[in-house]
């Protein structure tokens, strides 16, 4: 069976091999979370600094290795990088079963972050290299759905395994064995896609930065964006080293904010619900609904875009705003479930469309994976910065009366403003949906 890519076709097994990488990109930190409350029993006299390092350091390790992976994609074999990353990831999962103290857990978690950081850009980058136009958008939607669905399933698995030995939840980190076994089929990706024409194009192929940018926006095959703009055009269009800089900064800012606005659900919902006397199982249900809603749009993204067209991101932002506002207002379990669904669904629409646009911020197709790495780094910076932003603003305003609802009141206001911005700038690069997609 052959799958159309928009510029040719690949085998179904090759596509399954690319999809399988997305199974593991959202898992770091998942198995550690359930045991945080019992660390004093598992490892008596555990210093507070070590607990903080266990939760923060692995995520911080991901950021530089996401960028390194993007850089390696320019000069090294992408498939070899995938295999090496999967081996590091799987080795970390095995080593967890031999950890005997907190220092071991911290070191292994950092190793896991390194492996995951190398994989994250390539999970989307291989799809961006292989597919083009509306086919690329559809595949990035499926990739987003797979990674979020894997997170949902792994969350339930960790909760179930957590009732036994404290090491059992780390079994979820053995999942990389699946993409590692399928990696042999990655050789089915055409070499012309893995190694598109580089920045060193001959002078007679030179084109203006404006022409290359238009080609990128249109979602045309990567091979058609082949030229290096002359220096005068580069300066005019603010293109630096193959990157269209205004697009880079605007897309990073949007992804940072969207991640920040949605991650508060998993960070602060437990405190909100516990304050209202709801049980841990209620908290788990709301969190599970949030993750379930995130994966749904990925599998039906093309239908959503065909239905909503240029209003797609406006409606996604409005749905997120409504969800966070319901979180702030709702002290009812059913309302909180609906709110979590709205936030997750809106974010699930934004994520793959941002991935797709990340491939269009370069004039050199060989740098598509590096572009994805840069945009993805904004996601992990946002996840790391969210508690500092919310807690810092809460300390400034001192809303003791609204202590647990403050993150949701703050973000509902910010999302409301963001929705207006999306509406006003709906024809800009970041928020526009290319007509060829519907």
Residues of the chain with CATH 1.20.1250.20: 1-195, 196-438
SS in 3 state form for 322-367? HHHHHHHHCCCHHHHHHHHHHHHHHHHHHHHHHHHHHCCCECCHHH
CB 270 within 8 A of CB 290: no
Q: Partners of 3 in the beta sheet?
A: 10
For 53-67, how does the pLDDT look when each residue is reduced to its tens digit (9 = 90+)? 787 788 788 999 999
Q: Where are the beta strands (DSSP E) in 246-325?
A: none
Report pLDDT for 232.
43
Give dist(CA 326, CA 319) in Å, integer.
11
Q: Which tokens in the block code for residue 114?
A: 């390194």
pLDDT band at 251 (very low <50, low <70, confident <90, very high): very high
Tell me the mean pLDDT in the region 294-322: 94
Report pLDDT for 196.
64
Query: Is the domain defined by 196-438 classed in CATH 1.10.10.10?
Result: no
Tokens 């060989």 belong to 366
Give dist(CA 55, CA 129) in Å, integer.
34
Q: Mean of the per-residue pLDDT values for the chain?
A: 84
Sign of torsion over alpha carbons 281, 287, 292, 293: positive
Higher pLDDT, 163 or 80: 80
Tokens 């949906």 belong to 433
- Give the H or E element holding residue 415: helix 406-424
Distant-in-sequence, close-in-space partners of 278: CB < 8 Å, separation ≥ 6? 333
CA angle (168 as vertex; 174, 113 as ends), nearest 5: 45
Higher pLDDT, 43 or 87: 87
Report pLDDT for 237.
54
| pLDDT exceeds cutoff 70 at 34 | no
Tell me the mean pLDDT in the region 371-399: 86
Which range (157-171, 222-236, 251-265, 291-305) has the least confidence?
A: 222-236
Report pLDDT for 120.
93
| pLDDT exceeds cutoff 50 at 305 | yes
Tell me the mean pLDDT in the region 234-240: 64
| pLDDT exceeds cutoff 60 at 197 | no
Closest CA relative to residue 340, chosen from 407, 401, 293, 279: 293
Give dist(CA 92, CA 88) in Å, integer.
6
For 120-135, how does the pLDDT look when each residue is reduced to its tens digit (9 = 90+)? 999 999 999 999 999 9
Could you give the count of Cα atoms lying within 13 Å of 387 in the half-sphere of its Cβ? Answer: 9
Report pLDDT for 400.
67
Report pLDDT for 213.
41
Report pLDDT for 223.
39
| pLDDT exceeds cutoff 60 at 203 | no
1-195: CATH number: 1.20.1250.20
Tell me the mean pLDDT in the region 365-369: 88
| pLDDT exceeds cutoff 70 at 370 | yes
């Amino acid at each position: 069976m052959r799958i159309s890519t928009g510029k040719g076709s690949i085998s179904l097994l090759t596509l399954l091999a690319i999809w399988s990488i997305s199974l593991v990109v959202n898992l770091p930190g998942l198995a550690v979370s359930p045991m945080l409350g019992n660390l004093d029993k598992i490892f008596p006299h555990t210093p507070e600094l070590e607990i903080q390092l266990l939760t923060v350091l692995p995520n911080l390790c991901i950021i530089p290795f996401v960028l390194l992976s993007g850089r390696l994609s320019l000069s090294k074999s992408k498939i070899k990088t995938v295999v090496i990353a999967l081996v590091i990831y799987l080795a970390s999962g095995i080593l967890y079963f031999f950890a005997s103290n907190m220092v071991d857990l911290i070191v292994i978690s950092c190793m896991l972050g390194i492996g995951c950081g190398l994989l994250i850009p390539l999970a989307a980058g291989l799809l961006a290299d292989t597919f083009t136009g509306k086919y690329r958008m559809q595949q990035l939607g499926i990739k987003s759905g797979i990674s979020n669905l894997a997170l949902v399933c792994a969350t339930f698995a960790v909760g179930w395994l957590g009732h036994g030995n404290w090491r059992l939840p780390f079994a979820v980190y053995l999942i990389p064995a699946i993409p590692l076994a399928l990696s042999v089929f990655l050789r089915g990706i055409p070499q012309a896609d893995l190694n598109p024409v580089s920045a060193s194009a001959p002078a007679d192929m030179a084109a203006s930065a404006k022409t290359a940018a238009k080609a990128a926006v249109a979602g045309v095959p990567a091979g058609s964006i082949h030229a290096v703009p002359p220096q005068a055009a580069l300066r005019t269009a603010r293109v630096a080293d193959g990157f269209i800089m205004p697009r880079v900064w605007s897309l990073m800012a949007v992804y940072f904010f969207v991640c920040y606005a949605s991650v508060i659900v998993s960070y602060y919902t437990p405190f909100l619900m516990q304050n209202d006397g709801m049980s841990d199982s209620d908290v788990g249900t709301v969190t599970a609904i949030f993750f379930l809603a995130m994966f749904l749009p990925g599998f039906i993204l093309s239908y959503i875009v065909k239905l909503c067209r240029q209003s797609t991101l406006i409606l996604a932002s409005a749905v997120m705003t409504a969800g966070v506002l319901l979180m702030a207002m709702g002290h009812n379990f059913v309302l909180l479930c609906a709110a979590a669904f709205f936030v997750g669904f809106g974010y699930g629409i934004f994520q793959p469309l941002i991935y797709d646009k990340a491939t269009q911020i370069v004039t050199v197709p060989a740098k598509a994976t590096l572009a994805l790495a840069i945009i993805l780094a904004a996601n992990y910076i946002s996840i790391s910065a969210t508690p500092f932003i919310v807690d810092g603003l809460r300390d400034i305003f001192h809303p003791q009366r609204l202590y647990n609802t403050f993150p949701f009141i703050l973000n509902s206001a910010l999302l409301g403003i963001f929705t207006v911005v999306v509406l006003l700038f709906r024809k800009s690069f970041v928020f526009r949906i290319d007509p060829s997609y519907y």
